[in-house]
């Protein structure tokens, strides 16, 4: 049940999807991998939307060079753990939700346990080995994966419903070389907001998800494009998986 306070807080979006939709958001648990450039807008918008439980994981410390884009963190947070900083900001911006901010590395040993039985996994990582790990967990647990990535003024996003739509390995089978990538905060803002929108649509069970296609943003051209994506039958991650995706709250 929504409290009076919650009904007031979410009044303007309850106009869009009613108490029932807001209840769905409240019952949901979303796992956000990373509290950096993408994790910042994703977590802030999911928090203010009233996602009932948010787990956000990051092992890094806030550095001055993060502050052009990682809007969860302020100048005074330099030197502090990102998880601690993120937990404080998200609780402050919406005390009506539960936030689990965890300072740890997401690796093969910890990923499945950290994700638990979340309703969705948000990929806010900055490298493909970590993304493939999230993808494997999403496929194994049949939890949707909301992918985003940025470089400079370019960004991409797609949504994976394991067993139904192309997974990250189907779309990007090989990781690009690692690099210190140039980036500006507005690109993280665009792509992170697209990812958060996907999470909300999935939980509400409405709208057209970014499945079977990649949303590609070119900020300099001021143009969004789409690229088709298909499942690969011999995909090492999801090949042969046919089950319906679970996790959607009814």
Partner 1 sequence: MTVKVRFFARFRELLGTDIPAEPEEGATLLSLVRDLARKRKEGYDAIFDEHGNFHEFVIVMRNGKRVEHGDAAAVRITDGDEIAVFPPVAGG
Q: How far is the CB of 225 from partner 1 (least distance, A)?
A: 8
Read off the DSSP letter of residue 157: E
Choose, by CB under 8 A, the member of 6, 77, 123, 198 that binds partner 1.
Answer: 123
**Cα→Cα distances 37→66, 67, 86, 122, Å:** 8, 9, 12, 13
Choose, by CB under 8 A, the member of 12, 113, 174, 250 that binds partner 1.
Answer: 174
Q: Is 132 among the residues that bind partner 1 (CB under 8 A)?
A: no
Distance CA 174, CA 109 (A): 22
User: Mask of contacts with partner 1, 140-159, x by CB under 8 A?
Assistant: --------xxxxx-xxx---
Q: How far is the CB of 6 from partner 1 (least distance, A)?
A: 31
Phi–psi pair at 30, nearest 5 degrees: -115, 135
Q: Between 84 and 181, name the residue whose CB sits nearer to partner 1.
A: 181
Q: Between 37 and 52, name the residue whose CB sits nearer to partner 1.
A: 37
Q: Between 3 and 127, name the residue whose CB sits nearer to partner 1.
A: 127
Q: Which of 202, 190, 194 is nearest to 118 (CA)?
A: 202
- The span of 49-57, 104-112, 170-178, 201-209 binding partner 1 (CB under 8 A) equals 170-178
Q: Is 38 among the residues that bind partner 1 (CB under 8 A)?
A: yes
Q: Between 124 and 161, name the residue whose CB sits nearer to partner 1.
A: 124
Q: How far is the CB of 37 from partner 1 (least distance, A)?
A: 6
Read off the DSSP letter of residue 66: G
What is the distance, to the nearest Å, from the Cα of residue 29 to the centroid of all Cα atoms in its chain? Answer: 12
Q: Which of residues 196-215 bind partner 1 (CB under 8 A)?
A: none
Distance CA 224, CA 205 (A): 24
User: Mask of contacts with partner 1, 43-72, x by CB under 8 A?
Assistant: ------------------------------
Distance CA 200, CA 202 (A): 5
For residue 89, the SS3 value is helix
For residue 103, the SS3 value is coil
Phi–psi pair at 160, nearest 5 degrees: -110, 125
Q: Is 108 among the residues that bind partner 1 (CB under 8 A)?
A: no
Q: Is 109 among the residues that bind partner 1 (CB under 8 A)?
A: no
Evaluate whether 32 touches 56 at the Cβ level (below 8 Å).
Answer: yes
Enclosing H/E stretch for 147:
strand 145-151
Q: How far is the CB of 192 from partner 1 (least distance, A)?
A: 9
Summarize as ranges the residues that interact with partner 1 (CB under 8 A): 34, 36-39, 123-128, 148-152, 154-156, 171-172, 174-179, 181, 183, 188, 216, 218, 221, 225, 227-228, 230, 232
């Amino acid at each position: 049940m929504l409290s009076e306070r919650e009904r007031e807080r979410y009044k303007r979006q309850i106009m869009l999807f009613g108490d029932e939709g807001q209840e769905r958001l409240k019952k949901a648990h979303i796992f956000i991998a990373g509290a950096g450039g993408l994790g910042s807008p994703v977590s802030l918008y999911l928090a203010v939307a009233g996602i009932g439980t948010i787990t956000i994981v990051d092992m890094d410390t806030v550095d001055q060079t993060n502050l052009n884009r990682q809007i969860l963190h302020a100048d005074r947070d330099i030197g502090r753990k990102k998880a601690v900083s993120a937990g404080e900001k998200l609780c402050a911006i919406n005390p009506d939700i539960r936030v689990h901010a965890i300072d740890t590395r997401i690796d093969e040993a910890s990923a499945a346990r950290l994700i638990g039985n979340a309703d969705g996994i948000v990929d806010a990582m900055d490298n493909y080995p970590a993304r493939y790990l999230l993808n494997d967990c999403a496929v194994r647990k049949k939890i949707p994966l909301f992918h985003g990535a940025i470089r400079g003024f370019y960004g991409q996003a797609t949504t994976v419903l394991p067993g139904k739509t192309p997974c990250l390995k189907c779309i990007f089978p090989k990781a690009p070389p690692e690099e210190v990538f140039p980036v500006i905060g507005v690109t993280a803002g665009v792509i992170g907001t697209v990812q958060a929108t996907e999470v909300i649509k999935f939980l509400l069970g409405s709208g057209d998800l970014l499945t079977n296609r990649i949303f590609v943003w070119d900020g300099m051209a001021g143009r969004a494009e789409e690229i088709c994506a298909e499942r690969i039958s011999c995909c090492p991650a999801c090949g042969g998986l046919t089950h319906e995706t679970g996790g959607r709250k009814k």
